[in-house]
Each structure stands twice: as C-alpha cells, then as structure tokens.
Structure 1
Amino acid sequence: MRFDLAKTLLWASVIVILLFLFVPVAIIMVYAFSASNIQGWPIQSFSLQWFARTFADDEVRAALFLSVEVAVVATALAMLMGLLAALAVYRLRGPGSEAIAFAVVLPIALPGILTGMALNSYFVLWGINLSFWTIVIGHGTFCTVIVYNNVIARLRRLPPSWAEASGDLGAGPWRTFRLITLPMLGSALGAGALLAFALSFDEVIVTTFTAGAQTTLPLWIFGAIRLGQHLPEVNVVVCVVILLTILPVLLAQRLMGRAALLHK
C-alpha cells in the first residue's frame, strides 16, 4: 500500500483543529461532574451533587425558562420574516432584490455590540421599556438571517416548471404556494428554525442591551463568571447549554442532508 503523505497531513490537520475547538468544551463538561467546588486538574473525585443543586436553584430555572421562551418566540418570528424575505428576493429579481438581500443579511454581518446598541437606542428613543419582547425583537434580527439563507438557497434549487405546471392546471398563486412551494420548502424552513433556536438560546451580546432586568441563561452564566460566583453551577449550566445547542444543530444537519438527497 502506497503511503499518501498529502492525505495523512490533511487528516492530521483536521484532528488538530477538532482538538483545538472541542477539548476546552470537554474539560468544562467534565468539571461539571467534579465533587470539588474548586476547579483543578486532575479531578480527585466525581459526583452529581452540583446538578442537583443547580436544578434546585430558582434563579437558574427562571433564566432557563426565559431563554427557552425567548428562543421559541424569536424562532417563530424569524420563520415568518425569513420566509417572506426569501420569497421577495426570489420573485422580485433585479437591483431591488439585491438591495433587499443585502439589508436582510446585514444584521448577522454587523458586530453584535453594534446591533445591541442600535436596538437599545431605538427602544429608548420611543420610550419602550426593556422586557421579554425587546429581547425577542433583538434575537429576531439575526435569527431571520438564518432562516432566510436556508429558504433562499432552497428556492433557487426548485425547478420553476413545477409552479408553472400548477398554474397551467388552473391553480392560483396562493394555492400553488400552499400545495407546491411551501411543502418543498419544509425541510429548509425547519432546518433554519432549528439553527435559529440554537443561536437565540445561547446569545449574549445583543441580549445584554435588550434584556433590561430580565436574565436569560447565558446572561446568568456571564454574570456568575464575571463575579467569580457559583462556578460549579456554571459548569453544570454550560454543560446543559451545550447539549441543548448541539441537538437542534444536529437535527438541522440531518434535515438538510435528507433534503439534498431528495432533490438530486
């Protein structure tokens, strides 16, 4: 068997990159099972006591529920706005559509601190108190981009002959959209929603400027680390956040992979 140096170096590079990315994450997850309240290596003994204490903490539970509620509502908002924006860009082809496309993707290209400051200034200008809904609006600005990117990519791969055939058979634009276009966009819309949920659930920067007195789970983590408090509980919460973030990303990847096979 001939030794392939290029392939070996490529695989070695991949392994090094994956270790660089995920070893710190793995260490935090292991610390969550440490019996000591002081982080140190090697870990002397393991215990589940911090999980029980963390889940019994009313502040942590409230922050978790708020994060889930915000992510669900922001995802629903992003699905509607992302779908409408994708349809507008796809059907209104020309200079106007390019301007719309640029405006839609701009929030995710801008630094989060700029988006957060802009939204905060806007809310203050109109006398809007920071609350649950201001967090949702803030998250909706970048979650919409995720849904839009998935849907517009799928729209550009759909054969236009299907919609044309539906029209030839007597179906109107709305019926064609409901029976032909929307079902074909289902997996792209679902994958975008899952990714938007994951992005919203662990967002910190924009939330800092739009939350006011509200505390989401990422904000609780940030505050606890900054003050050097509840570090064992922080490790547990980080472990839970990682798991809750990985799951929708994996599901979105499977949806997109299955859809790609169907459209070959």
Structure 2
Amino acid sequence: MAGSMQASRGLRTTLRVFTGLVLVVIYVPLALVLLNSFNTDNTFGWPPPGFTLHWWDLARQSTGAREALWVSLRVAAVATVVALVLGSLAGLALRRTAFFGRNTVSLLIILPIALPGIVTGLAFKNEFTTILGVELSFWTIVIAHATFCIVTVFNNVQARFQRLGTNFEQASMDLGAGRWTTFRLITFPMMGSALLAGGLLSFGLSFDEIVVTQFTADADHRTLPIWIFENLFRPNQAPIVNVVAAVLVILSAIPIYLAQRLSSDTAGAR
C-alpha cells in the first residue's frame, strides 16, 4: 500500500512538472511579445536597454492598424451571428430527428474545423472566383469564417442537450404547453449559456484567423492578423507590430476566458 501511494505521488509530481514545462513553452513567447512592445530597442535587443510607451503611441496613430482592427471586429461579429443562428438550428434539428445518415450529417457539420486552413481557404477561393464568379469582399470572408465558427456553436448546443436530456421539455408539454411555448420558456433558456460560450469562442476564432482569410479577402478588407503578417518584416513597422500583437493576444484571451468561466459555472450550478 505504501509503495502504491509513493508511486502515485511520484506520478502526480511528474505530471505537474511536465504541465509546468508545457505552460512555459507556450506562454514565455507571448510574454516576450508583450515585453518587446515596451522595448526602447527597435531591434528587440536582449535584455531590453529600457522601456518606453513610444511604440504604443505610434500604434495608436497607425491608420492601417485601426482599419484592420475595425475589419476584424466586423467580420468576427457577423460570422458569430451567422454561426449562432445556423449552429443552434443544426443542433436542434439533429437532436429532435432520427434519420438514415444522421451521423454523416453531423460529421459534415464538424469537418470544416478539422480541415487544414489552407485547404479550406483554397476551396473557398476556387468556389468564389471560379465557380460562382464572385469578387472577393467583406462577405466572402464572413462566409468562410462562419463555416468553422458554426462548429463551436453546434458542439456546445449538442453537449448541453446531451447533459440535460428531454425531461424538462416533456414535463412542459405534458402540462399543456405547445412546442413554441416549450422552446421559448424551457429549451432556449437551457441553451442560453451554451450559446453564449459558443458565440464567444466563435468570435475569438474568427478574430484570429489568418490562413483562410488570406484566400478570401480582397485588398480593401485586410484583417488585423493579415496586417501583422504583412508588416512583420518591415524594420520600421516591427515595434508597432509587437504592440498590435500584444493587443491581439489580450483581446483574443478575453472571449476564451469568459467562455471557459461560463462553461465551468454552468457545470457547477448543475
């Protein structure tokens, strides 16, 4: 018994050390990006000779960065709305109906987020420009982003339904409520936090996306990740890029954190 407890304690220690190393590998580079945004040396010499807010002031005045941020926010917002509507409807449809090929339909809904971004981007570019003859625009970016954002909403809705079952809805209908009343008063409130979490995750995914956007954006609609990539290797812009990247990390972390808190709080309440 003592040997078993000692082995278990050793395993836990090993796992903690391994987890700590993984977190260091992931987050130290992000911390360096934030630190270099204050570095007085525009070549990012290490250790930093001093710290300044000059680059942050230049980034604030950068017209290109502001325009790219505005495009990213609009694309992410519209793609999230589309994902919320279609993802929740798909989750409801596959939950309430049983038919041949149901699992295949579910797989087709989930597949876009599993495909490499370069494959998805190339497929959409061919569809828009070759098959449909549509010029790339703001809406082509939104459509492309919505395809993988739908998956996050769909998965959240499906997971919520699997946990809750149908007892509450059946009780509502047994008491005389119709389908619409049951959906409005029972089903939709139960879906609320799952939809909010899925929407936040969708917004974060769309806001950060670069590979698919490269294939579906026109010259007038450059998102913030694309602006960073295009200016990364320009010596005069490199410090400003660090500032924008630091802001992007913070803005991306907020919806992910809120979605995680919503999921954990909901699980705790249950």
Structure 2, unmatched stretches of 5+, are 1-5
In the alignment, what sits opposite 2:164?
158
Q: How does 1:144-183 map to 2 (within 5 A)?
A: 144-183=150-189
Matches of 2:267 and 2:207, distance apart in 1: 27
Could you tell me which of 250, 265, 270 is aligned with 1:258? Answer: 265
Structure 1, unmatched stretches of 5+, are none
Identity in percent: 46
Matches of 2:99 and 2:257, distance apart in 1: 35
Equivalent residues of 1:88, 1:97 under 8 A apart? no
SS at match of 2:49: coil
Equivalent residues, number: 263
In the alignment, what sits opposite 1:230?
237
Could you tell me which of 197, 215, 226 is aligned with 1:219? Answer: 226
Q: How does 1:63-212 map to 2 (within 5 A)?
A: 63-124=68-129, 125-212=131-218
Equivalent residues of 1:90, 1:97 under 8 A apart? no
State the TM-score, normalized to the length of structure 2. Answer: 0.94
In the alignment, what sits opposite 2:3?
none
Per-residue deviation, residues 209-244 of structure 1 (Å, max 9, x unmatched): 111112100000111125555110110000000000
Matches of 2:168 and 2:98, distance apart in 1: 19
Q: Which amino acid aligns with 2:123?
A: A
Q: Which amino acid aligns with 1:81?
A: L
Per-residue deviation, residues 43-77 of structure 1 (Å, max 9, x unmatched): 00000110110110111100001101110110000
Could you tell me which of 11, 14, 33 is aligned with 1:9? Answer: 14
Q: How far has the Cα of 1:93 moved from its partner?
A: 2.7
Could you tell me which of 242, 246, 258 is aligned with 1:239? Answer: 246
In the alignment, what sits opposite 1:46?
51
Moved more, 160-169 or 41-50: 160-169
Change (3 A) 1:204 1:229: farther
Equivalent residues of 1:28, 1:238 under 8 A apart? yes
SS at match of 1:157: helix
Change (3 A) 1:25 1:5: same
Per-residue deviation, residues 18-50 of structure 1 (Å, max 9, x unmatched): 001111111111000111211111000000110
Q: How far has the Cα of 1:3 moved from its partner?
A: 10
Q: How far has the Cα of 1:159 moved from its partner?
A: 3.0
Matches of 1:226 and 1:38, distance apart in 2: 11
Matches of 2:167 and 2:35, distance apart in 1: 54
Q: How far has the Cα of 1:5 moved from its partner?
A: 2.1
Q: Which amino acid aligns with 2:160?
A: R
Matches of 1:257 and 1:211, distance apart in 2: 36
Change (3 A) 1:260 1:121: same
Matches of 2:222 and 2:126, distance apart in 1: 20
Residue 59 (structure 1) aligned with residue 25 (structure 2) = no
What value does the CA root-mean-square deviation take over the aligned residues? 1.6
Q: Which amino acid aligns with 1:5?
A: G
